[in-house]
């Protein structure tokens, strides 16, 4: 039996990957991980840490590989950083990465979407997709979010660390980046090693959270084909 480990992004949740479940071929089992501080309130997230998230992922990887089973890590956003780290360490047999944040950018939507969600102004599909991807409960008290600053500082540090080692990645990998991503530049594709084992694709109509129907279907088909080739 081969295993798939799904790792969500910062503020995210395992449900983000539910559109991929129907594409999992026979012979695979899958495991979702909910990172500490997610699926709760802003205070719980503030009291988590990058160190604890890395340990959680390492423990899950160890459990899934302990009987010699192969392991594919499928991850989104921050989760891709943990996936890349484990692959370089030899702890994963293949990676399927969605919007790895190796090259960041600031867009108008990045700034306006959190405010819309905070105000309950969910009036477009981009904001709705971001809202559905979040796992942190609503809290109108802006002071309760002050503790998030260290978590994002840690995230930026993890991004820098991953950029420094990405050239060591040799594991079979398929990377999807979105042309209209609110925070990740599609130019991140150029940071991955030029190798027959690593394939990068740009989704022309999608963002960081929202996938256009045609792009979503393409990701699902490629996921199934990628797994079937392993």
The domain limits of the chain are 2-229
Question: In which band, very low, low, confident or very high, does the pLDDT at 1 lie, cut at 50, 70 and 90?
Answer: confident
- For residue 41, the SS3 value is coil
Percent of the chain's residues with pLDDT above 70: 100
Percent of the chain's residues with pLDDT above 90: 90
Angle at 137 between CA 51 and CA 139, to 5 degrees: 105
d(CA 138, CA 117): 9
pLDDT, position 144? 83
Homologous superfamily of 2-229 in CATH?
Answer: Alpha/Beta hydrolase fold, catalytic domain (3.40.50.1820)
Tens digit of pLDDT for each residue in 186-195?
Answer: 999 999 999 9
pLDDT, position 140? 77
Average pLDDT, the chain: 95
d(CA 87, CA 91): 5
Let me know: does 75 contact 98? Beta carbons within 8 Å: yes
DSSP H helices, the chain, are: 42-46, 50-65, 78-88, 108-119, 125-133, 149-165, 213-229
Residue with tokens 């990465």: 97
Inform me whether the pLDDT recorded for 95 exceeds 90: yes
pLDDT, position 115? 84
Inform me whether the pLDDT recorded for 69 exceeds 90: no
Question: In which band, very low, low, confident or very high, does the pLDDT at 86 lie, cut at 50, 70 and 90?
Answer: very high
d(CA 72, CA 75): 10
Full-model pTM: 0.96
């Amino acid at each position: 039996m081969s295993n798939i480990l799904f790792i969500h992004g910062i503020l995210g949740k395992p449900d983000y990957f539910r559109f991929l479940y129907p594409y999992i071929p026979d012979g695979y089992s899958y495991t979702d991980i909910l990172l500490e501080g997610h699926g709760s309130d802003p205070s719980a997230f503030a009291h988590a840490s990058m160190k604890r998230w890395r340990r959680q992922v390492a423990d899950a990887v160890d459990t899934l590989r302990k009987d010699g089973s192969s392991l594919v890590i499928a991850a989104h956003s921050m989760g891709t950083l943990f996936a890349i780290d484990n692959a370089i360490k030899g702890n994963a047999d293949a990676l399927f990465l969605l919007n790895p944040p190796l090259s960041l950018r600031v867009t108008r939507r990045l700034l306006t979407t959190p405010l819309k969600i905070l105000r309950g102004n969910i009036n477009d599909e981009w904001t709705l997709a971001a809202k559905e991807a979040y796992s942190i409960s609503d809290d109108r008290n802006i002071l309760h979010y002050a503790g998030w600053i260290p978590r994002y500082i840690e995230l930026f540090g993890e991004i820098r660390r991953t950029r420094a080692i990405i050239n060591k990645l040799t594991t079979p990998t398929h990377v999807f980046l979105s042309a209209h991503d609110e925070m990740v530049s599609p130019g991140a594709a150029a940071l991955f090693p030029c190798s027959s084992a690593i394939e990068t694709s740009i989704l022309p109509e999608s963002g960081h959270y929202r996938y256009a129907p045609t792009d979503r279907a393409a990701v699902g088909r490629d996921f199934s084909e990628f797994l079937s080739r392993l």
